[in-house]
Structure 1
Amino acid sequence: MAQHAPPARGARLGRAAGANGPVTTVSGAVLLLPGASRWSPGPLRPLARALARSGAAHGLVAHPVVHGSAAREEDAEWAADEVVRRYGDVPVCLVGYDAGGRAALRAGGHAAVNSVLALAPCLGGPAPEEPPEPVKQLSGRQVLIVHGTNDARSDPESSFRLATRAKKANRSTCRFEVHSDGHGLREHQREVVALAVDFVLGAVFSGRYSRPVTDALAAPPPLGLRMPLASGFGRSLRG
């Protein structure tokens, strides 16, 4: 695989979480791509802690991608290359919030990536002369998009439109709506984190998901792309 040069802005992998201390055998990796503001990480920090707890027994590590501003596609691709260099041929899940969600989706075609999770992705509305966000790179990947219905920063309908096009290129695409929640997904953070952990562990390791995720992946549009995230989700799921 061709190696990407480190991004000019000095992106690097942050300290790994997981594997109960020093990493010995790594069987899968998560790359956490933040949004435009380091002061507003959304659910990424609690998600990293939850992944460290739930994925340690599987050999999962989670690295934040550290950089000066919002993550770009190039940062995500470089970070995936760095995972391969450090850990070998292990499956990689890209998890992005805000602008990081857009970067994760765009970089989903990287050879090491088997899954993408975009949380409140900032996709914007392209001008008439601009092409829509690409989706063909997501073919063959497990894809989950999560968006709050009251998001005032990133239009939830933009991620629904992208999911609709992505579903045509890749049946393994689903999208959950977090009713009454905003851009930071704070009101239902526990449920969002539980959903994310369920998806990541299933996509990277077992291929099995909770019933709501399984149903969302199997349902035809628009049902599987407007799946409501139930209050209390995750209380009966794996630790």
Structure 2
Amino acid sequence: MSRVAAAIDAAHAEGRGAFIGYLPLGYPDLQTSIDAAVSLAESGADILELGPPYSDPVMDGTVIQEATVAALAGGFRMRDTFTAVREISARVDVPVLVMTYWNPVMQYGVDRYADDLVAAGGAGLITPDITPDAAADWIAASERTGLDRVFLAAPTSTDERLEMIARASTGFVYTVSTMGITGERAELDAAARALVGRLRAHGVENACVGIGISTPEQVAGVVDYADGAIVGTALVRALRDGGVEGLAAEARALAAGTARS
């Protein structure tokens, strides 16, 4: 069974939605990013989502972009992804997903990337800029290795595309709350609730909502209808402003929002 799906099921068994926390690797430096991810898991995250820095992060907002620039300036290299996943997986028993743009995976080699991620203890990939119809090599590699494939669904996705995403995804479907880049928003787009309903109609068991979720109240609102809430920018800001201790405090507050009434 998918380790990611099992983590979501375990959260549901405790009467809550899953809390999925994102952090960029290499920020503010590699070891601190590892320690921060471990602290995030120990502070309530059910699933870790780790982002290797990328030179053109088209999906990310200002806070994450600034962290990415700093990580690259600090000398982050592709191989550091697997070093980080290996150390984090050795320290905490929480599934680790890598959220990566597709070009670095292609440059590294799809099968080689999958094999190295499995060897490091990783659970799978979230691939924001590739769709299932263009991902035959990755689908084959993930089926061979048992890694999870998390594809994105957007409010603008057609029913035909949602059906394709539903068939190809494992672990969960990353349900985009609103069109645009990542970052905090005062109000989440109501389209997220409708999109989760559409995904359910296509047989999706686990739909987790991300983009724009930044408060415990927003987490609570999301897990009322979805299987989990994905938080990124608020956690990166907490790490930037308060270090690992500040991140842990923010994570505990967000995790408290996952309880279902």
* Bin for the TM-score computed over the shorter chain: 0.3 to 0.5
Larger relative contact order (Cα-Cα within 8 Å, sequence gap ≥ 6):
2
Task: Choose between structure 1 and 2: higher helix proportion.
Answer: 2
TM-score when normalising by structure 2: 0.38
Task: Choose between structure 1 and 2: higher strand proportion.
Answer: 1
